């Protein structure tokens, strides 16, 4: 079983680079957009989500004025290898609460209980924990003690308790990332590579997919609440 450890400060480059590689590799799973690799916009989200995670990691030094914590799973055979990571945000004014920002486990390390172990270490410190996931992942997190609370856009909000914290959660403003020069340059490159029509179709495909997931999340939560009410 990998070594599960919580880092107290900004991770060293050797860990940072492996986390960033996981973000790039698994952006479909961890991005709220759920962008597919086949979508021409995929590289843009690899950069955008990667840059957001990088900023969170840099904020661990306290420079952004809010708390960020990180748990990593290090390979038991080679501790220099990061098998998974869990980035989460403690809630202000509620010392028991936190919210998961991003989590990923390397594909060759899955089904070993790594995600469960990282979440358990987090909830030992913050027992009132929240995360958001796509509908398909709900049973996975239910098995770890999380319960459905509500729908938020294309995702389902889950919590270790039956209510959200009343404390304040500080998060990064990601809008500047997607309006940055770098993103415009990536978009211009993709436009040149694929053509205007393909890029327009890619945006429509992304939006349709988001709308579909949003409806799915809303209907799922409505049905869950109705079932729970009926059992009560």
- Digit-coded pLDDT (tens) for 63-78: 888 899 999 999 988 9
The confidence score (pLDDT) of residue 225 equals 87
State pLDDT tens for residues 82-111.
Answer: 999 999 999 999 999 999 999 999 999 998
The confidence score (pLDDT) of residue 231 equals 74
The confidence score (pLDDT) of residue 30 equals 94
The confidence score (pLDDT) of residue 232 equals 63
The confidence score (pLDDT) of residue 99 equals 97
The confidence score (pLDDT) of residue 8 equals 83
CA-nearest of 1, 226, 36 to 121 is: 1
User: Which domains are seen in the chain, by residue range?
Assistant: 3-165+195-231 (3.40.630.30)
All residues at 6 or more sequence positions from 30 whose CB lies less than 8 Å from its CB, including other chains: 23, 49, 102, 103, 104
pTM: 0.93
104-127 burial, b for 16+ CB within 10 Å, e for fewer?
Answer: bbbeebeebebbebbbeebbeebe
Residues of the chain with pLDDT under 50: none
């Amino acid at each position: 079983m990998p070594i599960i450890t919580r880092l107290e400060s900004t991770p060293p480059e050797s860990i940072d680079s492996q986390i960033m590689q996981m973000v790039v590799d698994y952006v479909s799973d961890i991005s709220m957009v759920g962008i597919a690799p086949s979508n021409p916009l995929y590289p843009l989200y690899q950069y955008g989500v990667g840059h957001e995670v990088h900023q969170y990691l840099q904020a661990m030094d306290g420079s952004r004025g809010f708390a960020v914590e990180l748990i990593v799973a290090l390979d038991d055979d080679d501790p220099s290898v990061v098998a998974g990571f869990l980035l989460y945000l403690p809630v202000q004014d509620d010392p028991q609460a936190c919210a998961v920002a991003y989590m990923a486990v390397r594909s060759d390390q899955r089904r070993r209980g790594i995600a469960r172990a990282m979440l358990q270490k987090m909830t030992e410190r913050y027992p009132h924990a929240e995360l958001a996931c796509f509908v398909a992942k709900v049973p996975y997190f239910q098995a770890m003690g999380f319960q459905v609370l509500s729908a938020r856009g294309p995702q389902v909000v889950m919590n270790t308790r039956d209510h959200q914290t009343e404390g304040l959660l500080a998060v990064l403003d990601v809008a500047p990332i997607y309006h940055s020069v770098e993103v415009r340059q990536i978009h211009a490159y993709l436009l040149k590579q694929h053509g205007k029509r393909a890029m327009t179709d890619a945006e429509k495909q992304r939006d349709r997919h988001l709308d579909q997931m949003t409806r799915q999340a809303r209907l799922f939560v409505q049905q869950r609440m109705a079932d729970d009410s009926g059992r009560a």
